[in-house]
Structure 1
Amino acid sequence: MFDRSSVRLLLDRYRLIRLRQTIDREVDDFVVDVEADPERASLVDDPFVSMEDARDRLERLETTLLEQSDRRAVFLTVYTEMTAETIREIDAGEFIDSAWMERYLVRFAEYYRRAFRNYERGAIAEVPDPWIVAFGAAIRGDALALQDAFLGINAHINYDLALTLSDIGLDPDRSDKYVDHARINGILHRLVSVQQELLSELYAPGLSRVGDQFGELDDMVVALSLHTARKKAWQVAVVRSDARWTPVEKSTEWLLSRTATGGAYLLLSPETSPATMQVLRKIEADQLDLLSYAQDFHNRAETVL
């Protein structure tokens, strides 16, 4: 059923703020030519066939990108850890419906794989707009590492997640499936906290020189609103699942794309002062080694998961 209450649910303040960010803006500036690479292509050409296959190939893609100093690795450093931890919890029987969670994990990873593959191939028309912004900003290298990570998280949660849930189905036992869906929040929160901790240590000297605190960069975290975004992804999936009507599916997919793209623009325009952003970019240029950062992240993640 699709009625006025569904419209109010979909067009709330959270989404309207993000929709406004997309007015008179296109993603063309984030389309970057990518040199073909057989190694990367071999890892994303074929669909994932299991959660272990998704984990292993995502980890190998992260390694490849790190070796190539490709900043698209920054998101994958978080995502591979989240994927691995989710698999560990599935295997340990921590979820109510383990079989559903396995489908959830594989289908979710498939949305990332297809977006990455199509961007690599230059098939931009097949890449969702929020992923065009995330990939393009990372390849251009003019965003902070924190922004690179959050742009990927934004695209994956605010666009891919509702579609994933719709694809795998919410029924039967919808309430149990929501409990399993919500359990992921804790994993993601702990990993984002690790990332903030590492980057605050990197940025701290520069922030002290300009008299700012890392807390000002938390505007990005607020803009991302992970818990809220995952809850709203479920709400959209409910609307799509209950309506089972092509016009609703098309309109909600458009809405997901626009609001996720608006979220990306918010992440790229934090309220942090230009002087602070300039200092942080210089710190990253001089001190951020992607390989070392990734290793530190994975090591520290082991202590919180």
Structure 2
Amino acid sequence: MYMMLPATINEVLSSLDAIIADCRQRNSRVGYFAVLYRQMTLAVKNGMTNKAFEDAARMEKFDVIFANRYISAWDAYKNKKPCSNSWCAAFDACDTGNLIVLQHLLLGINTHINLDLSIAAAECCPGDSIKGLEKDFNKINEVIAVLSNNIQEKLSQIWFPLRFLTKISNKREEAVLNFSISAARKAAWANALLLAYEDAHTKTQHIKLIDDNVFLIAQRVIKPGFFVSFLLKPVLMMESKDVKGLIDVLQKEDAKAMLIAK
């Protein structure tokens, strides 16, 4: 059974609630990123209410298009239908027990920013209208970045090994996360500018190229190399295996995060 795609930001929140509920029922690690993404969407909604964006109506349209990229990918994957290679990699990784929560979050962030954000921006504002979106485009990235950092801080408070890893690696995994978002913002905006002016055929080829590159990044997150894997091993061993419980931990309301877009 396919999910009806939302048309408003409130419907996006309801759809994400349905995904999270389904993940809790099936003990699916897909729920980790879904929780983070719901928090981001709520922060965007609060930002619209508090006039944090230049054009609230345009931002809602942008947010819905952006969210539908994720929701439709999840729905297609769940129903064994084709979806992008990079989302398949992120979803496939959720079926294994050899990644820590932070890696699952990073896989979702990687695909949604590096692949979906530029496509959504170009669809929302094709042609010359894309130029007026830049400030609000960057604001969404700020929301993602701060929420990601808040989630990492929350995980470090709960699972001591992650805090230890931060110390002995000079915050290496935090730097990787922040760099990913910062670099992705620049790349996504550059791709959005190109996609906004491309014809249908060229756009399809361009999106395929982006997807291939994002898939390669996902593989580096899944298999980060011997040294990082060695550092992550104690975190993985001591991290809770209770998927429902972890989803509940991530769902705990973070007032700071919810107010970030004000």
Q: TM-score, normalised by structure 1?
A: 0.76
Match of 2:120 among 164, 186, 189: 164
Q: What is the Cα deviation at residue 174 of structure 1?
A: 4.1
Q: Which residue of 1 aligns with 2:157?
A: 201
CA distance 1:237–1:206, change in 2 (3 Å) = closer
Q: Which amino acid aligns with 1:227?
A: S
1:81 aligns with 2:39: yes
1:276 aligns with 2:231: yes
Q: Which residue of 2 aligns with 1:93?
A: 51
Contact 1:191/1:301 (CA < 8 Å) preserved in 2?
A: yes
Three-state SS of the structure 2 residue aligned to 1:270 is coil
Tell me the distance in 2 between the aligned counterparts of 1:185 and 1:132. Answer: 23
Contact 1:96/1:176 (CA < 8 Å) preserved in 2?
A: no
For the aligned residue pairs, the C-alpha RMSD in angstroms reads 2.6
Contact 1:119/1:127 (CA < 8 Å) preserved in 2?
A: yes
Tell me the distance in 1 between the aligned counterparts of 2:242 and 2:138. Answer: 37
CA distance 1:173–1:133, change in 2 (3 Å) = closer
Tell me the distance in 1 between the aligned counterparts of 2:255 and 2:23. Answer: 19
Q: What does the per-residue CA deviation read over 1:280-304, in whole Å, with 9 as the maximum and x for residues that have no partner?
A: 1111146873144223464663475
CA distance 1:213–1:46, change in 2 (3 Å) = same
Match of 2:132 among 168, 176, 180: 176
Q: What is the Cα deviation at residue 93 of structure 1?
A: 2.1
1:226 aligns with 2:181: yes
Match of 1:239 among 194, 203, 225: 194
Tell me the distance in 2 between the aligned counterparts of 1:230 and 1:196. Answer: 19
Tell me the distance in 2 between the aligned counterparts of 1:167 and 1:304. Answer: 26
CA distance 1:56–1:291, change in 2 (3 Å) = same
Contact 1:150/1:267 (CA < 8 Å) preserved in 2?
A: yes
Match of 2:19 among 30, 44, 61: 61
Three-state SS of the structure 1 residue aligned to 2:94 is helix
Which runs of no fewer than 5 residues in structure 1 stay unpaired? Answer: 1-40
Contact 2:20/2:34 (CA < 8 Å) preserved in 1?
A: yes
Q: Which residue of 1 aligns with 2:109?
A: 153
Three-state SS of the structure 2 residue aligned to 1:103 is helix
Q: What is the Cα deviation at residue 219 of structure 1?
A: 5.4
Tell me the distance in 2 between the aligned counterparts of 1:165 and 1:207. Answer: 36
Q: Which amino acid aligns with 1:140?
A: T
Q: Which amino acid aligns with 1:79?
A: Y
Q: Which residue of 2 aligns with 1:11?
A: none
Contact 2:33/2:105 (CA < 8 Å) preserved in 1?
A: yes
Q: Which residue of 2 aligns with 1:50?
A: 8
Tell me the distance in 2 between the aligned counterparts of 1:106 and 1:117. Answer: 16
Q: Which residue of 2 aligns with 1:139?
A: 95
Match of 1:187 among 143, 148, 153: 143
Q: Which residue of 2 aligns with 1:119?
A: 77
Tell me the distance in 1 between the aligned counterparts of 2:258 and 2:55. Answer: 25
Q: What is the Cα deviation at residue 257 of structure 1?
A: 0.5
CA distance 1:80–1:182, change in 2 (3 Å) = same
Contact 1:95/1:101 (CA < 8 Å) preserved in 2?
A: yes
Three-state SS of the structure 1 residue aligned to 2:168 is coil
Tell me the distance in 1 between the aligned counterparts of 2:228 and 2:180. Answer: 21
Contact 2:110/2:218 (CA < 8 Å) preserved in 1?
A: yes
Tell me the distance in 2 between the aligned counterparts of 1:256 and 1:76. Answer: 22
Contact 2:46/2:258 (CA < 8 Å) preserved in 1?
A: no
Three-state SS of the structure 1 residue aligned to 2:239 is helix
CA distance 1:47–1:278, change in 2 (3 Å) = same
CA distance 1:291–1:168, change in 2 (3 Å) = closer
Which runs of no fewer than 5 residues in structure 2 stay unpaired? Answer: none
Q: Which residue of 2 aligns with 1:19?
A: none
Q: Which amino acid aligns with 2:239?
A: E
